[in-house]
Amino acid sequence: MKKILCIVFALLMALSVFLTGCAEKPAVESTKEPDKPVDTSIATVEPATDAETGAPVVDDGLPDVRFDQNGQKREFRVLTSAVSQLDIYTEDHMINQAVHDSVRTRNLNVEERFGVKINVVVEEYQKVTQIVKKLVKSNADDYELCFVHMVNGAALAQNNEVLPFEKLPYVDLSQPWWDKDIKSGFSIRNNIMMVNGDISPTSFNYTSCLYFNKRMFDALDIEYPYKLASEGKWTLDKLIEITKDVSKDMDNDGKITHDSSRDVFGITSYMLSVPYDFYYGAGGMLINKDDEDVPYYKPDIAVETRIYEKIYKALITNNANFETDPAYELNVIKIFTDGRAMFYDAILSSCEFLREMEDDYGILPEPKFDENQKEYKTFVNGASSMVCVPATVKPENREYVSIITEALASEAYKVITPELKEVYLKRKMTRDWESAEMVDIIVRHRIFDMAYVNMYDTLGSYVRDLLRNKSTNVASKLSTYEKQVPKKIDKIVEAFDKSLAD
């Protein structure tokens, strides 16, 4: 089995090359006075903590039972992917790396408490879903728990290849260690078959955010947007205003292009990230639910059009680097690390590629649609892992599986998450205390949409497809889904209903 990478934020599936070196930067001098500290605090209710360790005090309500017999620990078998292996797999010893060691501590605590031995198999992420499918087809009971790719794994629920968590009696999704908004994208009739939360520390990697170049703000004498963000005033309109005249042809070839080594951009971004990040950040949602938690498709064309118009202005009208060619995906980052983009739309783990960046940078949440939007909303990229239980787990074993799964989640909340937030989300990925406060905003407002999860290549990517074609005809595009989407929804609802009946 391959050794894990010791740095959690290096687990970035889409990017595999670390970029170094800086191109020539525009010759500008700062005219901006140093910022005074601003109050970016947010009123929250923190869980009670242990006076000695500082860890959250939790009562998971699990029974006082042990599963070992005659000195032999019962095996708890887990399947995960190389992308998200640090959710559960560690070396067999501490390595003095904070998150790795806290995951190992979590595992050891659960093993000792319940008399079990956690055994993990790591596969390439593309293979995990296929393995689960084969298990169900052959009725093989090889694994108790699986960490699957969010979008690829959605098919498992549609095909009744994973168990509803309703059938796992000790998993309590109301507890703080389970992601609250997960139901928006994954439940039907309050039945859910894939979940996430503190049990999956690597899922933080795939949370969207905006990086900004402080030197470029200083050169234009613009205040860093931290205060705007903390006051709930960081919006698409502000982003459009700031970046309106930033993109420039610096090599004087008559055009602003991604393959230039000198051209400057207001925003640098990639088509598999920014359309979703901006759309969901602005409050967009393609599938809604009725009072019985049944999804339906009835888009508000006026609302969809207003959201899209702002995204179009930010990316197309303002000449952002909106990269649609996979061959230039890595160049999106290089433009920012070279100091040639004011903003870089990405995910939290992308900070790993900014370690050697010469210019100082800050981190912001994705902008709201307007100031009337109640909360910031953070898109979770489909590469994030989700937790599921194979349908082949027999009824007599479900109590056992649910106890250990809940224990892994609750113990992660107590042991892993404080370390993750303190060490990685604040100390290592940020260069200033304001950005650390922004990260708190970002990770507390993660959202999920059933259309993205289950209809990624059709309705779930309509904003991406319009932008790629520089089209503004939202109504026409959404009308093309009027027949196929309701049929798709009916199929998913039928599968979920069947899963409870079986």
- 296: Cβ contacts below 8 Å, ≥ 6 apart: 287, 288, 289, 290, 486, 489
Task: Kindly list the distances between the CA atom of residue 236 and the CA atoms of 16, 229, 282, 318, in Å, as whole numbers in the listed order.
Answer: 30, 12, 8, 12
Count CB atoms within 10 A of the CB of residue 320.
25
Maximum C-alpha span of the chain = 79
| CATH no. for 74-204+383-426 | 3.40.190.10
Instruction: Return residue ranges of the chain for CATH 3.40.190.10.
Output: 74-204+383-426, 218-379+455-501
Q: Report the C-alpha gap between 230 and 228 in whole angstroms.
A: 6
Structural contact between residues 88 and 118, judged by C-beta atoms closer than 8 angstroms:
yes
Task: Tell me the average confidence (pLDDT) per consecutive run of 10 residues in the chain, 502 residues long.
Answer: 36 32 35 35 41 64 95 96 91 90 96 98 92 94 95 90 95 92 88 93 91 97 96 98 96 92 97 97 95 95 98 98 94 97 95 90 97 96 93 96 98 92 71 86 90 93 97 97 95 89 74
- 399: Cβ contacts below 8 Å, ≥ 6 apart: 169, 170
Which pLDDT score is estimated for 184?
85
Which pLDDT score is estimated for 106?
97
Which pLDDT score is estimated for 55?
56
Which pLDDT score is estimated for 429?
72
At 81, list the tokens.
Answer: 């992917």
Structural contact between residues 409 and 109, judged by C-beta atoms closer than 8 angstroms:
no
HEC string for 345-402: EEEHHHHHHHCCCCCCEEEECCCECCCCCCCCCEEECCCCEEEECECCCCHHHHHHHH
Q: Report the C-alpha gap between 156 and 162 in whole angstroms.
A: 6
Task: Kindly list the distances between the CA atom of residue 143 and the CA atoms of 76, 129, 392, 394, in Å, as whole numbers in the listed order.
Answer: 8, 13, 9, 11
Task: Kindly list the distances between the CA atom of residue 125 and the CA atoms of 12, 80, 85, in Å, as whole numbers in the listed order.
Answer: 12, 8, 10
At 171, list the tokens.
Answer: 């998993």
Query: Cα 434 to chain center, whole Å?
Result: 21
Q: Pick the closest to residue 342 from 367, 359, 366, 365 (CA basis).
A: 359
Q: Return the DSSP state at 305.
A: H
Q: Report the C-alpha gap between 416 and 254 in whole angstroms.
A: 52
Q: Report the C-alpha gap between 135 and 158 in whole angstroms.
A: 16
User: Interhelix angle for 98-114 vs 398-419, to 10°?
Assistant: 150
Task: Kindly state which CATH superfamily the domain 218-379+455-501 is placed in.
Answer: Periplasmic binding protein-like II (3.40.190.10)
Exposure class string for 25-54: b at 16+ Cβ within 10 A, else e: beeeeeeeeeeeebebeeeeeeeeeeeeee
Which pLDDT score is estimated for 425?
67
